[in-house]
Amino acid sequence: MNAIKLLLLIPFIGFLALLPYANKIEPYILGMPFLLFWVAFWMVMASVILLIVYKFDPDNKGSDPE
């Protein structure tokens, strides 16, 4: 497995493994309860990490089929 693909574990850990520690209502961040902010934050971070993996994965260097 490529080292760049190990980045895909980060959102998994953020969503599932750390969720019990983030299960609280206060503090409010950006007007959202902390748990809602946590889930929204990891959704955005998962998209960013997927973009990074897509751009830097050496297996993805081929041309697009038409």
| Average of per-residue pLDDT across 6-29 | 86
CA-to-CA distance for 14 and 8, rounded, in angstroms?
Answer: 11
Which residue matches tokens 């574990």? 9
pLDDT, tens digit (0-9, with 9 covering 90-100), for 20-66: 888 888 899 899 998 899 999 999 999 999 998 888 887 777 666 55
Q: Which residues pair with 29 in a beta bridge?
A: 32
Residues 53/5, Cβ–Cβ less than 8 Å: yes
pLDDT of residue 41: 93
pLDDT of residue 43: 94
Mean pLDDT throughout 3-28?
Answer: 85
CB burial of residue 47 (10 Å; 0-12, 13-18, 19+): exposed
